[in-house]
Amino acid sequence: DTGVSQDPRHKITKRGQNVTFRCDPISEHNRLYWYRQTLGQGPEFLTYFQNEAQLEKSRLLSDRFSAERPKGSFSTLEIQRTEQGDSAMYLCASSLGPNTGELFFGEGSRLTVL
Amino acid sequence: KNQVEQSPQSLIILEGKNCTLQCNYTVSPFSNLRWYKQDTGRGPVSLTIMTFSENTKSNGRYTATLDADTKQSSLHITASQLSDSASYICVVSDIKAAGNKLTFGGGTRVLVKP
């Protein structure tokens, strides 16, 4: 499969624990995006990378959230000291090139914070 | 503020029937409009992308229309199938979009009943 892959697909954790999600984009795609989606809502932008550079972060991305793309390939999204409000689907997407480029989404990582 | 409004929020249709979903947007300056299908618990999958100059685009039984003057789009599903049960998300980007400037609608949840 050469699409966007995310791991893990599901994560259940206790409040206060740290969690990390991984995203492997389509190999030739230079842009990678993270979105958060809650039930019944559309995805909300969190951050995006062009190669290894993190070019923009949403105000939704509090200090407890950090994202990296160290070699311009896979990316990780870490949430520290999780809160119940962090429960959501975390979607990764990748694209090749500028705004008219099609965005390919992964299957998402669903986080449940107890 | 850029906004994308979708209607209805949800609808139920009988298998074999047609339906039309609506999307109104205020994104400016407009670059392109995309429709995604999102199955429950999965990532969104692109159905169509339309630029300013395109009025209609089809993908199998899905036909999207765009009126850039009135800033409205519709997605028509013909001869619905049970597998069409999903959320359909309208996404609009502005000229400077790079993923971070994509504006997502809240989606329309479609349930096809036998």
Per-residue pLDDT band for B107 (boundaries 50, 70, 90) equals very high
CB nearest to A99's CB, from B43, B97, B106: B97
Residues of B with CB under 8 A from a CB of A: 4, 31-32, 34, 36, 41-46, 49, 51, 89, 91, 93-102, 104-107, 109
- Contact state of B99 with A103 under an 8 Å Cβ cutoff: yes
What distance in Å separates the CA atoms of residue A6 and residue B49, rounded to the nearest whole number? Answer: 24
pLDDT in tens, A31-54: 999 999 998 889 999 998 999 999
In whole angstroms, what is the distance from residue B107 CA to residue B93 CA? 16
pLDDT at residue A61 tops 90? no
Least CB-CB distance to A99: which of B95, B105, B109? B95
- Give the residue carrying structure tokens 């939704």: A60
> Of A67 and A72, which is predicted with more confidence?
A67
Name the one residue in this structure whose structure tokens are 């290894």: A52
